[in-house]
Structure 1
């Protein structure tokens, strides 16, 4: 009886943890004791989350089925209950089943997987274009259509303001309008970096000598954080990404302000700095 009560207690605790998981998922940044994805802010990330849940259900069902088979075999075919073991060498119907069934499971996983890949790499028409260039150890952003360029550098812990997360806050945030398609071109000045924003479902390498592209459409206003996710050297852990999603009116105001702050030098737009 004591063992039964302890088992119920453990199951109840696990159930509570599972139900609390979504609440612990950060919106735009990680949260203490988080065990799930960050809250989705884009259609692609929502699709990633759904696919993750779908595959986990399949994995759980397979694990439970295999466990049940193991328990059945141990109980039915142990030496005590089955002193004379079967000499069966094969069973054609069973072999067909355990060949066909895994194929069907793989197909059931592959179809939504291909659909997700298509959503990630079939770029819509860009409403905003940004180029992100990785350097050791900061990001440089350019808005080619607006003539805006700036460096984004991590805020030291001693200079953090209230509400700014440690190791994630930057001196200049990327600003984009809500519900608009943003295409990001990725480059690198030195080694391989990686531009990753979990809430957007975006993670792509910035490779020297190559222009990579990704996209997102943020559906909620707010600040969303990410980090360089490719080991790029000594200060790899101090190369954060911050994207501020604002209304169209705020974005137009930001563009106008930063355009007026840019200085024309030899026909080139100088970097805008605070």
Structure 2
């Protein structure tokens, strides 16, 4: 009897050890690693979407939020499985070089130029090109992320659209090398202007109980469209990339459930992103 009991205990121990070895592997196989822009993280969108994605697919989503340039670099280095970013020209080049596949547009918002309510440069209601030209002419403080993010790339293209060089060495042009919320706070401290995506501005306004020191002064210009897309890392370049999980994530983001969740995601009664998956 004692011998049978010992044999049973031994069998249970073997099963327990086997489960301990197997389940961590299974769990790791269902974890999707993503690099994404700071705006999808700072706004709270990913914290909102991730539990729904896991419930629908059984896949756990983990992410690192950096500027789009750094996110693309992480994809090149095979550090992640999927990207959610907002710099279309850089994304298309990334795909053309063979690093990414299956780029899909998921949602958009727009960029806005914000500044003090007193508007010392007098740019309220101007076009983007005119506003930036005025800021340059008057030497008003303009805060740039300066971090090769999607927002920074867009800002640089807008300065180029004015027909003059990017004012990188001008005394009034402040490059933070930081994320959007930090850059907004620096602009507020310097009584200056900056460019941000609207979603992050709404999040910023929410943290200020709806009365932020900086206000939207320039908006609704066609050139300010801010498109977000998802890209899977090419498994032929990165053999350990979880292409199947990345594909599941992309298909879920483009599906009715996620598109509805993105549409309904609001702060201060305002949508932060507009779904537009095809």
Structure of larger gyration radius: 1
TM-score category, normalised to shorter length:
under 0.3
Higher RCO structure (Cα 8 Å, ≥6 apart): 2
Task: Choose between structure 1 and 2: higher helix proportion.
Answer: 2
